[in-house]
Amino acid sequence: MEGRQHFVRRDFPPIPSVLLLLFGAILVLNAILYVCINTFHVSSGRGETEPGLCPLGYFRLGSVRNCSPWLSCQAINREVRKLKRVGEGAVKKVFLSEWKENKVVLSQLTNPELKEDFLHGLKMLKALQSKHVVRLLGYCEQEFTILTEYHPLGSLRSLNETLHIPKYKGMNTWHRRLMLAIDYVSIIRYLHSSPLGTLVMCDSNDLDKVLSQYLLTSDFHILVNDLDALPLVNRSSGRLVKCGHRELQGEFVAPEQRWPYGEEVPFEDDLMPPYDEKTDIWKIPDVSNFFLGHVEGSDVVRLHLFDIHAACKRKDPTERPSAQEVLDTYRKVLTLLIREAATPGTREML
């Protein structure tokens, strides 16, 4: 008898339309989240490579597509025109200038006694060119001159004022502020694992000083601008650092940066123990607290960051997380909060 195959037909109950809507909404939200996070990591300055970055020794400015070599002493003297002085510190005086109809920044040595600091900053600027660092356009060592890209929003000290300008009020959200904090931690991570080795951001004895070291770009990202005080840590050779030769005080600096022998013993630089890059980690919560501000949702962000910030504030530097661990946590919190922000929209569809 010839075998026959028997197909049994089963009738499945119809899938409710509400579940189809829910499933579709989840797919759409996941797609949006995937695009947002990938855009965040790749095109918003978090990656270590940038397709449009010029080779070392070259720069691209404005709408020009081709890379130009760093300007020499002769080119700077001939082609750059000072417009006005916009700042002055212990090491440099800064001029808003013009080069081929582009606004640029010309920095010149203020105090000849600090020329080593100036030249160290130039060396760091040349070696660390990346999307984390202000763009170098040229320099003249003989005349102690550095030419860099101009960013009209200035340093991070004026962040809150900028966010109250009508044009930028739309940026004053927990999401954008958290992204700025992520930019900041990304820069610290980059310095701690730089091509030169582990570098410590020493110009950071108070919040105002920290904020003055960074620039806010027109598309609301952060660049480190001042690299004059960036010593190298090398644990394998026992090389640690000290940020200057004066006594540091206050809760902003890390415990190991403070004089450990009490008020009864006068401060002596030779007796001050050196330390490592974990001093930068101690300061992250205070800097991030400034970035988060007091907008709607910022307290929720702080709550999610509480544990990692508590770890950053451990008295023993060896117990603090690395900049990479802090950065990973910040990114996870951003992903989580974006997902949570999308959830109410899904509920409304049901």
pLDDT at 62: 79
pLDDT at 18: 54
Identify the helix (H) or strand (E) that includes residue 68: strand 68-69
Confidence at 1, pLDDT banded by 50, 70, 90: very low
Query: If DSSP states are collapsed to H, E and C, what string results for 23-42?
Result: HHHHHHHHHHHHHHHHHHHH
Rounded to whole angstroms, the Cα distance separating 201 from 233 reads 11
Q: Which two tokens stand for residue 221?
A: 């990202």
Please compute, for residue 319, the number of CA atoms within 13 A of its CA located in the half-sphere on the CB side.
Answer: 8
Rounded to whole angstroms, the Cα distance separating 37 from 40 reads 5
Average pLDDT over every residue of 295-304? 97
In the block, residue with structure tokens 């025109």: 81
CATH topology identical between 68-149 and 154-341: no
Average pLDDT over every residue of 13-19? 55
Domain ranges of the chain: 68-149, 154-341
Identify the helix (H) or strand (E) that includes residue 215: strand 214-216
Q: Which of 222, 182, 136 is nearest to 331 (CA)?
A: 182
Q: Which two tokens stand for residue 150?
A: 């101009």
Does the structure show a pLDDT above 60 at 63?
A: yes
Whether 70 contacts 138, CB under 8 Å? yes
Q: Which CATH number does 154-341 carry?
A: 1.10.510.10
Does the structure show a pLDDT above 80 at 37?
A: no
Q: Which of 72, 88, 92 is nearest to 228 (CA)?
A: 92
Q: Which two tokens stand for residue 289?
A: 């607290």
Does the structure show a pLDDT above 90 at 81?
A: yes
Which residue type does 202 have? C
Rounded to whole angstroms, the Cα distance separating 278 from 192 reads 9
Rounded to whole angstroms, the Cα distance separating 69 from 237 reads 36
pLDDT at 348: 45
Question: Among 121-125, 175-179, 252-256, 340-344, which stretch is predicted with the lowest mean pLDDT?
Answer: 340-344
Its CATH class, for the domain covering 68-149, is alpha beta
Q: Which two tokens stand for residue 257?
A: 């940066």
Rounded to whole angstroms, the Cα distance separating 120 from 271 reads 25
Cα–Cα distances in angstroms (integers) from residue 286 to residues 63, 289, 296, in the given order:
37, 5, 19
Does the structure show a pLDDT above 60 at 4?
A: no
The winner for highest mean pLDDT among 3-12, 18-27, 83-92 is 83-92
pLDDT at 12: 46
Q: Give the list of residues 6+ apart from residue 283 with CB closer than 8 angstroms, or none.
A: 204, 210, 252, 253, 254
Rounded to whole angstroms, the Cα distance separating 8 from 75 reads 85
pLDDT at 142: 95
pLDDT at 2: 45
Please compute, for residue 298, the number of CA atoms within 13 A of its CA located in the half-sphere on the CB side.
Answer: 18
Which residue type does 276 have? D
Looking at every residue in the chain, the average pLDDT score rounds to 87
218-237 exposure pattern, b = at least 16 Cβ within 10 A, e = fewer? eebbbbbbbbbbbbebeeee
% of the chain with per-residue pLDDT over 90: 77
Q: Give the list of residues 6+ apart from residue 270 with CB closer than 8 angstroms, or none.
A: none
Other beta carbons within 10 angstroms of residue 199's beta carbon come to 25
Q: Which of 138, 14, 155 is nearest to 75 (CA)?
A: 138
Rounded to whole angstroms, the Cα distance separating 25 from 301 reads 25
Question: Among 30-39, 160-169, 250-259, 290-299, which stretch is predicted with the lowest mean pLDDT?
Answer: 30-39
Q: Give the list of residues 6+ apart from residue 309 with CB closer than 8 angstroms, or none.
A: 284, 285, 288
